[in-house]
């Protein structure tokens, strides 16, 4: 029988996807499952973005797209980067991708040779390490403990960089913790990176507009212009504008890197939906009040969820600066037995027991490189969150 490629031998299907599949199986059996595993806004795509897509379709903008992005959308991206991040890019320094994920994949595939190291602060979005492996690289994780707010310390970054380091990946506000770096904290990281000119820097800024309590977002190429020529700034429409299904990502970076990524994209997917680009351009250029209103709603949800979790026996929940996740420590639940008789020894077993017994889906922290934690998304309505928190509390109170 023909064999499969060995490159996938150490790559797993995303844990959040697996939990979602199991939740759907239970739902198909008539079980009312509350899903807190998905990083997907529950809001609607802005009406003016949908109308822009409609008008683009009506006028026949349905042919093959330019591989790197339509001129109109690139212009909107340039305005966005200047307005929000004080970054100036030319058209040949911008690439439009099928979701932000493809931008990351393109960059790693275009730059990594076998054995090259990719420094990834942990906890981290599941796909970072796996994409590095697929591209032939070696993920090097750097622990960012809760007692440092789940943030990367400069001295730990310095210790992780070697002559083999090709990339350092940053994601603040972070998935799964919601941690975000202040300007001073980002500058301290930039100072380390300035000492290592052989290293590319990638920043995944997908949650930049979801910050709370007056926190001010910053991105590393803005904080340290000296890094601009080796920094890839990745963003997209998914989280800010609730456009996950439109699959629109974009990035800005040095011309030589963007050119290589353009070439890589041409061998994979080519261009991005013209209609989706029209919608995303309208979202970037349109009124931004909706973004602030939704961030205010997320803030209310965050505060409710953090307070509720801290009332659950065995759970301690840190209050994050951004995104729409919390990453509570569940060490106090381990070594105990559930009401149904299941012995809990790991965060993976806890996540599965919560699904099977409380019918709430969360994702185990081990999938993100740190245990014993679970990731909970509060990108759902308050009614669902209220019921989910009650179920989790009852589950914890029943542990013996």
* pLDDT, tens digit (0-9, with 9 covering 90-100), for 68-78: 999 999 999 99
Cβ proximity of 210 and 176 under 8 Å: no
Q: For residue 23, name the pLDDT band (cuts at 50, 70, 90).
A: confident
Domains in the chain with CATH codes: 6-44+290-397 (3.90.1150.10), 47-285 (3.40.640.10)
272 vs 63, 156, 246, 249, 287, CA distance in Å?
11, 38, 10, 9, 24
Residue 28 has pLDDT above 80, yes or no: yes
Q: Per residue in 236-290, pLDDT tens?
A: 999 999 999 999 999 999 999 999 999 999 999 999 999 999 999 999 999 999 9
The pLDDT tens digits for 346-389 are: 999 999 999 999 999 999 999 999 999 999 999 999 999 999 99
Percent of the chain past pLDDT 70, that is, above it, reads 100
Q: How confident is the model at residue 13 (pLDDT cuts 50, 70, 90)?
A: confident
Task: Please give the model's pTM, rounded to 2 decimal places.
Answer: 0.95
Angle at CA of residue 231, ends 195 and 282, nearest 5°: 155
pLDDT, average across residues 329-339: 98
- pLDDT computed for residue 20 by the predictor: 79
């Amino acid at each position: 029988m023909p064999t499969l490629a060995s490159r996938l031998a150490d790559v797993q299907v995303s844990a959040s996807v697996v939990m979602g599949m199991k939740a759907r199986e239970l739902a198909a059996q008539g079980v009312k499952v509350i899903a807190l595993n998905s990083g997907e806004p529950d809001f609607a795509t802005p009406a003016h973005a949908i109308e822009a897509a409609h008008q683009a379709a009506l006028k026949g903008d349905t042919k093959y797209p330019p591989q790197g992005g339509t001129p109109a959308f690139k212009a909107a991206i340039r305005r966005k980067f200047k307005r929000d991040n004080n970054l100036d890019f030319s058209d040949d320094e911008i690439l439009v991708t099928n979701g932000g994920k493809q931008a990351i994949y393109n960059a790693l595939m275009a730059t990594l040779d076998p054995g090259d190291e990719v420094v990834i602060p942990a906890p981290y979005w599941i796909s970072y390490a796996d994409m590095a492996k697929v591209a032939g690289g070696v993920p090097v994780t750097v622990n960012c403990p809760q007692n440092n707010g789940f943030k990367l310390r400069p001295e730990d970054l310095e210790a992780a960089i070697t002559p083999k380091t090709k990339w350092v990946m940053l994601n603040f506000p972070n998935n799964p913790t919601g941690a975000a770096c202040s300007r001073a904290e980002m500058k301290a990281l930039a100072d380390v990176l300035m000492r290592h000119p052989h290293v590319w820097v990638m920043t995944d800024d997908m949650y930049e507009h979801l910050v709370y309590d007056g926190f001010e977002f910053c991105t590393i190429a803005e904080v340290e212009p000296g890094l601009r020529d080796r920094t890839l700034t990745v963003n997209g429409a998914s989280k800010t504008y609730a456009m996950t299904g439109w699959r629109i990502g974009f990035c800005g970076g040095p011309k030589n890197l963007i050119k290589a990524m353009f070439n890589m994209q041409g061998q994979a997917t080519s261009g991005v939906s013209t209609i989706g680009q029209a919608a995303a351009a309208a979202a970037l250029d349109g009124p931004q009040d909706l973004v602030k209103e939704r961030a205010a709603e997320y803030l209310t949800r965050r505060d409710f969820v953090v307070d509720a979790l801290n009332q659950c026996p065995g759970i301690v929940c840190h209050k994050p600066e951004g995104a729409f996740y919390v990453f509570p420590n569940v060490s106090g639940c381990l070594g105990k037995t559930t009401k149904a008789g299941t012995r809990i020894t790991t965060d993976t077993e806890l996540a599965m027991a919560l699904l099977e017994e409380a019918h709430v889906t969360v994702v185990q922290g081990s999938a993100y490189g740190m245990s014993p934690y679970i990731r909970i998304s509060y990108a759902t309505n308050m009614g669902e969150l209220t019921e989910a928190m009650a179920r989790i509390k009852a589950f914890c109170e029943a542990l013996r």
